[in-house]
Amino acid sequence: MKPIKVGLLGIGTVGSGTFNVLKRNQEEITRRAGRSIQITMVADLNTTRAKELTNGECEVVNDANLVVNNPEIDIVIELIGGYGIAKELVLKAIANGKHVVTANKALLATHGNEIFKAAQEKGVMVAFEAAVAGGIPIIKALREGLTANRIEWAAGIINGTTNFILSEMREKGLDFDVVLKEAQRLGYAEADPTFDIEGIDAAHKATIMSAIAFGIPVQFDKAYVEGITKLQATDIRYAEQLGYRIKLLGITRRTPHGIELRVHPTLIPAKRLIANVEGAMNAVLVQGDAVGATLYYGKGAGSEPTASAVIADLVDITRLATADPEHRVPHLAFQPNAMTDTPILPISEVTTSYYLRMQVADQPGVLADVTRILADSTISIDAMLQKEPAEGETETDIIMLTHQTQEKNVEAAIAKIEALPTVVGQVTKIRLEQLS
């Protein structure tokens, strides 16, 4: 059987890893796929570097259009990134009847509906395992492995940069700004780390997981996104004393009123396995009604871990290339005509628990005032920590953990607490999830 011919758009970190792993494991991959998979064409603006990386084993061009328009190419791997030229090239490849493999979570989270519709109409596949959590096969698990389940929720540490920063803040007691500089020095954070530290990267991935878990369109614009830039070492230390760790989580949950889709720093009980995922590692916890909780852990980025997912997609497409399009696994797990328009809930309607820290005057009646405001807002207290003021100090910290309540109730209570003359500055609020 003739080989599947692949065109690679972009031979950077992941592209070079894909080329090398495919070459190194060619025999094993061929045995699994049933036919040889060969990268025969590479497009990259730096053709000199591309030729060095491919060692003259395939054609190298500086115009990606030459790849997507080449009738000899069966599958196009898009590793350019971003929303602009990448979207144009993916849609052009689909229009030309080519299958597509992409690691571009930003593209799919914002334009996935359009891309999947075009692919369905053309009878080709778009595979994107590498777009979420690098080498961890979470897309395949949600789309196929857990297909018997009604997924209740998924929560994941899906950005290695922020997890590294939070791990360092906890272990060394350092503030965010200090650890960010160290993460940049070590190569864990980009020179411009905005997408990572502001939660945008994690929200792209959570959006894709939510669509697959619940059979809804991708709706990145409806996600609530909050990064880690305002987190203080003080709160990480207090959380530890109360038996919790703080992680940046991407969370999506089914509720009777709609779907929660949110990314934010979250307190998790330290005894949970996911709370102990440290450094730049990723982990996703999925709750299904039949299977219960399943945990997926591994490297969420890097050359060869991400290449592992890219090549798995190549093998899947190779196996199914001759199958009737109606019998392939749908892009978002559910048949296109069975997708629902279940609404994404605004953050004000989300129900969860909370960590509240407030700096107050060290005088009688303060605690009574605070607890009365919380009670009036139907918020009950689960645990509390009150620090003794240092010698000579007239102010102290009160830390409270609440039971579950709606976000809008907490916001209303915080506004009243901050208005008290005995409360100094703003109340720190961090959401808390038991994940049980």
Pairing of strands 281-288, 292-299: antiparallel
Residue 238: which pLDDT band, with cuts at 50, 70 and 90?
very high
Percent of the chain beyond pLDDT 90?
A: 93
- Check whether 16 has a pLDDT greater than 90: yes
Could you report the per-residue pLDDT of 252-311, keeping only the tens digit for each? Answer: 999 999 999 999 999 999 999 999 999 999 999 999 999 999 999 999 999 999 999 999
60 φ, ψ (degrees, to nearest 5): -115, 130
pLDDT of residue 344: 98
Could you report the per-residue pLDDT of 179-216, keeping only the tens digit for each? Answer: 999 999 988 899 999 999 999 999 999 999 999 999 99
Alpha helices by DSSP H, listed for 242-337, are: 303-320
How far is it, in rounded angstroms, from Cα 260 to Cα 135? 26
Hey, what amino acid is at 299?
K
How far is it, in rounded angstroms, from Cα 392 to Cα 150? 57
Q: Mean pLDDT over residues 234-262, rounded?
A: 97
Q: Are 40 and 7 in contact (CB under 8 A)?
A: yes
Could you report the per-residue pLDDT of 345-386, keeping only the tens digit for each? Answer: 999 999 999 999 999 998 889 999 999 999 999 999 999 998
pLDDT of residue 322: 75
Residue 230: which pLDDT band, with cuts at 50, 70 and 90?
very high
Q: Closest Cα to residue 316, out of 82, 69, 143?
A: 143
Q: Are 293 and 377 in contact (CB under 8 A)?
A: no
Answer yes or no: 205 catalytic: yes
Residue 150 CB neighbours (<10 A)? 12
Strand order in the sheet with 126-127: 59-61, 37-43, 4-9, 75-78, 99-102, 126-127
What is the biggest distance separating any 2 CA atoms in the chain, rounded to whole angstroms?
A: 83
Q: Are 4 and 321 in contact (CB under 8 A)?
A: yes
Residue 323: which pLDDT band, with cuts at 50, 70 and 90?
confident
Q: Are 183 and 197 in contact (CB under 8 A)?
A: no
Domains and CATH numbers, the chain: 4-135+303-338 (3.40.50.720), 138-299 (3.30.360.10), 349-432 (3.30.70.260)
Instruction: Give the predicted TM-score (pTM) of the model.
Output: 0.96
Burial class (CB within 10 angstroms; exposed 0-12, middle 13-18, buried 19+) of 372: exposed
Could you report the per-residue pLDDT of 117-160, keeping only the tens digit for each? Answer: 999 999 999 999 999 999 999 999 999 999 999 999 999 999 99
Burial class (CB within 10 angstroms; exposed 0-12, middle 13-18, buried 19+) of 362: middle
Q: Closest Cα to residue 91, out of 109, 78, 72, 79?
A: 78
Q: From the candidates 205, 247, 299, 387, which is the catalytic residue?
A: 205
- Check whether 393 has a pLDDT greater than 90: no
Pairing of strands 381-386, 395-402: antiparallel
3-state secondary structure of 248: strand
Pairing of strands 258-269, 224-225: parallel
- Check whether 324 has a pLDDT greater than 90: no
Could you report the per-residue pLDDT of 4-13, keeping only the tens digit for each? Answer: 999 999 999 9
